[in-house]
């Protein structure tokens, strides 16, 4: 006979895959006729734009571009430094097992290196090494059995769990544009270097909408008509709304920003500004923390019970921890003598991550790329590194956590001292996203299948073995946890130990209740 069950719904956004892939994007660029010949390469930079992701069974196809900027030294004594920018097409297919077209993806990009080689004075070969971090998620709505109806004789082993149930997800495209000012004395000839980063991310949930707020930090190094190299830094607001039904302020929201396209061009010389336009894709996934009650096991002392067991994998404990790391260091740079610092690229690298039960510790380094110029306008690059350590304290079950860390440089200052020293002050904001994957063991399709076989005794003595619980013992011998605890004077049902002798009361088919049987036999 089928037993009626009570169920509650749970929406799962299960992480199916998390894969890192190194890809290479290559191409050649021809020096335009209007520019002088290439003598050697000074430095390279680039920005990755991803404008299409498509999941095919067992594969994900990623399409986009890498906007690259090459600063080079010329063979012209009047124009020592010039620049070339070009776009490289990015198209990559990554194999990932067990993914299907109905799943969703998040992609994080990191340029590891851009290598430019001089083929001849009019041709340069470019190779960009890019790290893709790909996360794949599968949405599923399931029903969890949390109770039975009209089943006084069926004993249930229940558990209470806190999980992250998916409320909904959505995305939007944001177009951000602005004119970035440069010094009024500068007449811009060309852009030598471009860096774009998304910072100051924030979200607010209200009225079935997610308000996403961030800033795009734009750093442009440019060449002037009088052969000087200068820099400008500006921030452009990125603000958008994503409609998601049934969300509220108490929910947790994951957001992911993807730069999809960049347009940058100098305005007229008289305006002393640069026009920039960004297309940014923003994806939001909203969860509620939900407490569920599940039946992990059941039996009846008087009847045979049959049911199906199933395991559901989901996520729990989603949260974000952020912290500030201050670094102050003195660096000695011999090449700095009679030179100025035009620009410094700061690349944070986490070299080692150790996860313990109550903490996460990081060891890393800041890679600093100094761009130096002197009175002769010749550009020199110098690389330095600064080690750092960072830790997150007071976490729970650290070894079971999924951890995603990102670092944002929030402030930087470089003060030139005497004797070729530079006082470096850098502030980093470190974001750590934590969650854990858990297995929920539950039951389904419960039915009774006749009475248990009658026994000749109503109480037995048992010696507890390793890994025994009162639930397992009661189920095995057709008793109840309450009756065994009562007969043996056990106050805490979780406190038993191997070798302990206990008496186990059992049901009898005479219609005597388990409580009556235990009282009779114990007496």
The string of pLDDT tens digits covering residues 52-67 is 999 998 999 999 999 9
For range 506-510, the mean pLDDT: 56
Average pLDDT over all residues of the chain: 90
Per mean pLDDT, which range of 198-202, 299-303, 401-405, 481-485 is the poorest? Answer: 299-303
| Residue ending a domain, choose from 388, 415, 440 | 440
96 confidence band (pLDDT: 50, 70, 90): very high
Look up tokens 């974001």; give the residue.
431
Identify whether 307 is part of a domain.
no
Q: How far apart are CA 288 and CA 249, in angstroms?
A: 10
166-209 pLDDT, tens digit per residue, is: 999 999 999 999 999 999 999 999 999 999 999 999 999 988 99
Overall average pLDDT of the 148-175 stretch: 89
What is the DSSP code (8-state) at residue 399?
G
pTM of the model: 0.84
CA-to-CA separations, 86 to 30, 31, 191, 220, 486, in angstroms, rounded: 10, 10, 12, 16, 80
What percent of the chain has a predicted confidence (pLDDT) above 90? 68
The verdict on 367 and 495 lying in the same domain is no
Residues 160 and 293 in one domain: yes
Do both 274 and 364 map to the same domain? no
Classify residue 6: in a domain, yes or no. no
Q: DSSP for 107-168, please give it.
A: EEEEEEEEEEEEEETTEEEEEEEEEEEEEEEEEEEEEEEEEESS-TT-EEEEEEEEEEEEEE
Angle at CA 141, nearest 5°, toward 137 and 144? Answer: 125
d(CA 284, CA 245): 12
DSSP 515: H
Give the pLDDT confidence of 213-229 residue by residue, as tens digits.
999 999 999 999 998 99
- Please name the residues in contact with 270: beta carbons below 8 A apart, sequence gap of 6 or more: none
Q: Is residue 304 part of a domain?
A: no
pLDDT of residue 206: 87
Over the stretch 229-277, which tens digit does the pLDDT of each residue have? Answer: 999 999 999 999 999 999 999 999 999 999 999 999 999 999 999 999 9
User: What pLDDT, on the 0 to 100 scale, is given for residue 268?
Assistant: 93
Please tell me the predicted confidence (pLDDT) of residue 153.
79
pLDDT of residue 220: 96
Helices and strands: H and E segment counts in the chain: 3, 20
- What was the pLDDT predicted at 508? 54
Q: Does the pLDDT value for residue 509 go beyond 60?
A: no
* Mean pLDDT of the region 428-433: 94
Answer whether residue 87 is part of any domain: yes
184 and 274, same domain (yes or no): yes
pLDDT at 301: 82
**Shared domain check, 295 and 166:** yes
Answer yes or no: do 33 and 126 share one domain: yes
Q: Does the pLDDT at position 458 exceed 90?
A: no
Is 5 within a domain?
no
Percent of all residues in the chain with a pLDDT value above 70, rounded to a whole number: 95
Residues 294 and 330 in one domain: no
Split at pLDDT 50, 70, 90, the class of 523 is very low
Which pLDDT belongs to residue 182? 96
First to last CA, the chain: 37
> pLDDT-based confidence at 410, cuts 50/70/90?
very high
pLDDT value for 306: 87
Mean pLDDT of 17-34: 94
Question: CB-based contacts of 76: which residues, under 8 Å, 6+ apart?
Answer: 36, 37
Residue 396 lies in a domain: yes
Q: Which pLDDT score is estimated for 512?
A: 41
Residues 322, 370 contacting (CB under 8 angstroms): no
Q: Are 228 and 216 spatial neighbours (Cβ–Cβ below 8 Å)?
A: no
Tokens 């005794």 locate to 457
Are 117 and 220 in a shared domain? no
Q: What is the pLDDT of residue 507?
A: 62
Average pLDDT (123-136) is: 96
Which DSSP state fits 454? P
Count how many domains the chain has. 4
For residue 514, is pLDDT > 70? Answer: no
The pLDDT of residue 456: 52
Are residues 100 and 169 part of one domain?
no
* Residue 479 belongs to domain with CATH number: 3.10.350.10
In sequence order, the 6+-apart residues with CB closer than 8 A to the CB of 166 are 11, 12, 13, 139, 285, 286, 287
Average pLDDT over residues 509-515: 42
Residue 283 domain-assigned? yes
For residue 33, the enclosing domain spans 17-141
Do 325 and 271 have their domain in common? no
Instruction: Tell whether 293 and 183 lie within a shared domain.
Output: yes
Judge if 171 and 253 occupy the same domain: yes
Per-residue pLDDT of 340-395, as tens digits, reads: 999 999 999 999 999 998 999 999 999 999 999 987 778 899 999 999 999 999 89
Of residues 152 and 424, which shows the higher confidence score?
Answer: 424
Question: Is the distance from CB of 370 to CB of 381 less than 8 angstroms?
Answer: yes
- pLDDT of 452 > 90? The answer is no
pLDDT at position 4 is 86
């Amino acid at each position: 006979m089928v037993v009626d069950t009570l169920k509650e719904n749970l929406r799962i956004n299960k992480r199916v895959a998390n894969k890192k892939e190194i890809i290479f994007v290559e191409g050649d660029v021809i020096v335009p006729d209007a520019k002088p010949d290439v003598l050697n390469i000074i430095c390279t930079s680039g920005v990755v734009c991803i404008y299409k992701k498509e999941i095919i069974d067992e594969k994900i196809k990623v399409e986009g571009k890498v906007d690259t900027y090459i600063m080079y030294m010329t063979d012209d004594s009047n124009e020592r430094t010039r620049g070339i920018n070009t776009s490289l097409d990015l198209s990559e297919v990554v194999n990932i097992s067990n993914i299907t077209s109905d799943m969703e993806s998040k992609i994080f990009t990191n340029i590891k290196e851009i290598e430019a080689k001089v083929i001849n004075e009019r041709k340069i070969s470019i190779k960009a090494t890019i790290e893709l971090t790909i996360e794949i998620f599968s949405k599923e709505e399931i029903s969890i059995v949390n109770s039975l109806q009209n089943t006084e004789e069926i004993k249930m082993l229940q558990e209470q769990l806190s999980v992250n149930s998916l409320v909904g997800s959505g995305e939007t495209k944001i177009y951000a544009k602005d004119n970035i000012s440069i010094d009024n004395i500068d007449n811009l000839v060309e852009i030598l270097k471009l860096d774009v980063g998304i910072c100051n991310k924030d979200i607010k949930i209200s009225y079935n909408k997610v308000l996403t707020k961030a800033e795009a930090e734009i750093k442009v190094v440019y060449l002037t008509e009088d052969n000087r190299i200068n820099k400008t830094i500006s921030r452009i607001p990125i603000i958008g709304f994503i409609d998601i039904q049934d969300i509220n302020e108490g929910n947790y929201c994951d957001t992911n920003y993807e730069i999809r396209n960049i347009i940058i061009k100098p305005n007229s010389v008289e305006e002393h500004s640069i026009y920039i336009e960004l297309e940014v894709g923003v994806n939001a996934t909203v969860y509620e923390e939900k407490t569920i009650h599940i039946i992990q096991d059941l039996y009846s002392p008087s009847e045979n019970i049959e049911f199906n067991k199933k395991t559901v994998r989901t996520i729990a404990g989603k949260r974000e921890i952020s912290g500030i790391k201050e670094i102050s260091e003195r660096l000695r740079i011999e090449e700095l003598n009679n030179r100025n610092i035009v620009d410094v690229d700061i690349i944070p690298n986490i070299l080692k991550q150790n996860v313990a039960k109550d903490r996460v510790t990081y060891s890393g380094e800041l890679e600093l790329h100094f761009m130096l110029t002197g009175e002769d306008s010749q550009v020199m690059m110098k690389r330095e590194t600064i080690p750092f350590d960072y830790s997150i304290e007071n976490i729970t079950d650290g070894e079971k956590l999924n951890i995603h860390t990102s670092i944002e440089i929030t402030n930087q200052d470089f003060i030139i001292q005497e004797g070729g020293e530079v006082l470096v002050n850098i502030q980093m904001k470190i974001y750590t996203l934590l969650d854990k994957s858990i297995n929920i063991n539950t039951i389904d399709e419960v039915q009774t299948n006749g009475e248990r076989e009658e026994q000749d005794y109503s109480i037995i003595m048992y010696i507890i073995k390793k890994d025994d619980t009162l639930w397992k013992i009661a189920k095995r011998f057709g008793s109840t946890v309450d009756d065994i605890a009562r007969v043996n004077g056990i106050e805490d049902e979780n406190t038993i130990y191997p070798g302990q002798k206990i008496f186990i009361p059992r049901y009898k088919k005479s219609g005597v209740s388990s409580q009556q049987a235990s009282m009779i036999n114990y007496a």
